[in-house]
Structure 1
Amino acid sequence: MSEKEKTATSETERFNELFSELEDCDEDEQRKKIIEMNDTVDEMDEEEFKSIFTKDLFNKMGKMIEEKKISMEIAILLLKHVGYCKVMKNIWIMHFKESLLKRRIEKMIADENEKKEEKNENLLVGLCECYLTLDCSFSNELLSICACCLLKVASKKEENKEAQKEVEMALLTLSYIDYFMKMQNELYLNRIKEIIKHHQEHHNLTLLACLSAWQFLINRLPNNSLEKVIVNELRLAREAARELERLVKQMDLKRREGKTNGKEMKEMVTLMRWLSTLNVYFANFTLKNKELVGLFRYIIQVFRASKDNFKEISVICISPLISAANNRAVKVDYLLKGDVVDALLEEIQQPTQNYRLTYECMVLSLHISIRLGAENNEKIGKAKRKATKRKIFEKMEEDGYEDSMVSLHEMTSYRSFMLRYNQPAKYLSDYFVFL
């Protein structure tokens, strides 16, 4: 058995041991054990996580609550942390929605919300956070209750660590409401606008909280009136570039050695979630916006900084750029001025190539070239297109990119690229000068 397998086994056994001891402890001891259980959850990989959090475990918890062996408040301490880890690790589990515990939580949310007096707001918030992070489908009625409840928490303006932690969890939970779950604007728009605007003025949100606020809003697209708010009022492109800069300053993307700690891992996940969120936005927006040039430049900075030591981040950088290149609302000029083509050519020229990254770069180059060659290309005149063609061709010839591209024919990724897009051209440069 490998060292990793031994560690995983010991964590699983430790979690199960602590869980089995919960019903025989008083409340103070239960809290201590759940802190230990949460620590083991932090160390679990996806396979181990799924093996532990089964329908059987959730049903056992539901039965323990019913028999008053543990309180719902105690159970929430564990469930909320499990939901947080599930979202941050991007793990998809289906067992909670099939469990009796889910039905109990749904009933408790509805009952607590209906109370006119003596409503336990902290309990309601915890129930909503567990429900939305652990489940994947919700009733419209409960979704409305949870959204209103969590937006209220997220609107807190205190800047102490405890308040920031509560705001971060509320916004992270809201960001997990997928785009296919429809919500009326009046349920959320004024609140989320206020949260983002306050952060723009006071910088009170954590990196993850700020991302989550934007993610929740962008997940409501497509919506023309909402898009005007995002672009013109909240200035997404400018703010996203600033947040990426704030995030990267706290990360060492050029670090070559050393194990990634918990804080660095959280920042890395936040950075990748920002890129994925921008990918969704670029795929759906319809308004032209010159501020995208600055955002493209910063995505390229992240791409260049991460490709040596954080290849997964560098590959993810290409996806939003592909979506942007496919979006007719993005002028090709924005991509050229945003240093996108220069970065592509630099990567293709590398003597030792990362096949996956090179493949993604070729896909992006194809989409840019098609946009450049379109007859009605965003009102770019014939003379300007020729000048762009000559500039790119001369750069490729001067720096020896032509030779680099010929060698790509030996790559499996290049052959699969040609097959996928059914392109007969011999040289990748043909895509860039296809006018």
Structure 2
Amino acid sequence: MIVKEEQKKEGNDEKLFINLIECYLLLDNRFSLDLYPICVPCLIKVSLKKEEDEETQKEVEIALLALSRIDDRNKIERDLYLNEVKEIIQYHQKHRNLTRLAYQSAWGFLIKRFLLDKSLEVVIANELHFEREVESELDGLMQSVDWKKKEEEMGETERKAMDIISRWISSIRYNFFSCNLWNEEYAELISRIVDLFRASRDNHNEMGKECIQSIKAVAKYRTVKLDDLLKSGVIDAGLEEIQRPTPNERMTYESLKFYYMLSLRFKGMTGDEMEEAKRKELKRKMLEKMEEKGVEDIFNSFQETFRFFFPDDSGFIHL
């Protein structure tokens, strides 16, 4: 139906055409490669609308939501989207014309393209300031949620905020997996994820798990400054989770996995990555923090429980 509508020489129903594309993407994100040159420009055109009336905002929101659904394993040529998506994001940064969901969706679409196009990193980090923008959005969204409530007790506004937060965390994880640049904005973003982890873990285990998985990606994949991790509070947050009187098995596993990834980072450090004296000092600080919390026996007991997850029997937490 999409192809037939696009091929019409006369009498093309633009609204029907847009609706067909949006419905298809919202139902199935594995879009045919042949359809990208047809459909991406169409949705981009809708997303570029600047009017702030409610009807236009909804049109833009749905178009960007549909774009954000496109499968991350299929590469889209940059000339189909990049300049336009940059314009959408930068215009919102100046005028705040998009809904929260629309803005997240614009970023979600761009970050998914990053997996197959590493050259986007400079645009994402240095031109559009992904880390700074996500931190600001998370601040606002977290204030919209009463974290003492369970999900079934929340109102519609709170549930919507939770959904958008979850989408941001997913985009953060995509970015951490792919990004190699490091700047001070990343350190602040990690601190914000730690705040979200602490706020959500009692009544929203799934979101807490998403947070610790994102932080785990930092430890494993990024050229992260390890002293920034110490400053962010993530070390303390993980230890708090492991020490809970009634631990959640999945959350405990993810926390332990974070420490495992961190220990591998320390073991793999070279002179090019960190001066030996600084590495030893950071290592000492981490071990002192663990000793202060009195968690050595706890680590050892969990290591036995989760042994099949951690192939290094010499002690995955010993740095």
Superposed pair shares fold, TM > 0.5: yes
- SS of equivalent to 2:312: coil
Identity %: 43
Listed one character per residue, the Cα deviations across residues 20-47 of structure 1 (whole Å, up to 9, x for unaligned) are xxxxxxxxxxxxxxxxxxxxxxxxxxxx
> What pairs up with 1:236-315 in 2 under 5 angstroms?
236-256=130-150, 259-315=153-209
Counterpart contact for 1:109–1:142, Cα < 8 Å: no
Instruction: Calculate the aligned-residue CA RMSD, in Å.
Output: 2.1
Q: CA, structure 1 residues 377+204, in 2 after alignment: closer, same or farther (shift >3 Å)?
A: farther
Equivalent position SS for 2:164? helix
Q: Deviations over 1:106-125 (max 9, x none)?
A: 3343235x54xx54322221
Relative to structure 1, is the Cα distance of residues 108 and 264 closer, same or farther in structure 2, using a 3 angstrom cutoff?
Answer: farther
Per-residue deviation, 1:400: 2.1
Structure 1 Cα separation of the partners of residues 167 and 117 of structure 2? 22
One-letter code of the match for 1:185?
Answer: R
| 2: CA distance, partners of 1:425 / 1:150 | 54
The alignment's TM-score, normalised by the length of structure 2, stands at 0.92
Q: How many residues align?
A: 318
Bigger relative contact order (CA 8 A; separation at least 6): 2
Question: In the aligned structure 2, how far is the partner of 1:377 from the partner of 1:274?
Answer: 35
Question: Of 312, 315, 325, which residue of structure 1 is paired with 2:219?
Answer: 325
Amino acid at match of 2:95: H
Relative to 1, partners in 2 of residues 1:341 and 1:378: Cα closer, same or farther, differing over 3 Å? Answer: farther
- The Cα shift of 1:231 comes to 0.8
**Structure 1 residues 257, 418: CA separation in 2 closer, same or farther (over 3 Å shift)?**
closer
For residue 24 of structure 1, what is the aligned residue in structure 2? none
CA radius of gyration, larger in: 1
Which of residues 137, 140, 150 in structure 1 aligns to 2:43?
150
Provide the C-alpha distance between the structure 2 equivalents of 1:257 and 1:124, rounded to a whole number of angstroms: 37
How far apart are the structure 1 equivalents of 2:88 and 2:120? 16
User: Residues 371 and 377 of structure 1 are in contact (CA less than 8 Å); yes or no, is this contact kept in structure 2?
Assistant: no
Question: Closer, same or farther in 2 for the Cα pair 1:257/1:229, shift >3 Å?
Answer: closer
The 5 Å alignment of 1:108-119 reads 108-112=4-8, 114-115=9-10, 119=12
Matching residue of 1:344: 238
1:238–1:295 Cα contact (<8 Å) kept: yes
Q: Answer yes or no: is the 8 Å Cα contact 1:393–1:429 preserved in 2.
A: no
The CA deviation at 1:355 is: 1.0
Residue 184 and residue 301 in structure 1: after superposition, are their counterparts in 2 closer, same or farther (change >3 A)? same
8 A Cα contact 1:199 1:205, kept in partner = yes
Q: Which runs of 5+ in 2 are unaligned?
A: none
Secondary structure of 1:220's counterpart equals helix
Give 2:58's aligned residue.
165
* Alignment deviations for residues 239-268 of structure 1 (CA, whole Å, 9 cap, x no partner): 111111121121222225853343333322
Counterpart CA distance in 2 for 1:339 and 1:298 is 10
Aligned twin of 2:125 = 231
- Cα distance change of structure 1 residues 351 and 128 upon mapping to structure 2, 3 Å threshold: same
Query: In the TM superposition, what whole-angstrom CA distance separates every residue of 1:376-420 from its partner, at most 9, and x where no partner exists?
Result: 1663222222222222222222232234334x34xxxx4453222
Q: Which amino acid in 1 is paired with 2:313?
A: P
Instruction: In structure 1, list runs of 5 or more residues that go unmatched.
Output: 1-104
Matched residues in 2 for 1:166 and 1:314: separation? 32
TM-score of the pair, normalised by structure 1: 0.68
**Counterparts in 2 of 1:255 and 1:378: CA distance versus 1, 3 Å:** farther
**Could you tell me how far 1:296 is from its partner in structure 2?**
0.3
